[in-house]
Amino acid sequence: MERFLKSGARVKVTIMFRGREMAHTDLGQKILNRLVEDLEGLAVVESAPKQDGRNMIMVIAPDKRAATPAE
């Protein structure tokens, strides 16, 4: 994911819930929030996590401030 963000590409993250996992979508939300914290300074959230049926989807874009090369 870091390689895509550093090259300037956006990343779409999808978590698929199966069966009884649908009762614990809050855990999927925590995973996505932790991912955003881990990518702090490298990426920004373009589309907040949202539930789409059995999937939770979020789009992350490269941070423009971090993408500018230091010369």
| More confident call, 71 vs 59 | 59
pLDDT at 69 over 80: no
Token output for 43:
């990426």
> What is residue 65's predicted lDDT score, i.e. its pLDDT?
74
Domains for the chain: give ranges and CATH numbers: 2-67 (3.30.110.10)
pLDDT at 55 over 60: yes
Global model pTM greater than 0.85: no
CA distances from 15 to 7, 25, 53, 61, 62 (A): 23, 10, 11, 17, 20
In tens, the pLDDT along 11-31 reads 999 999 999 999 999 999 999
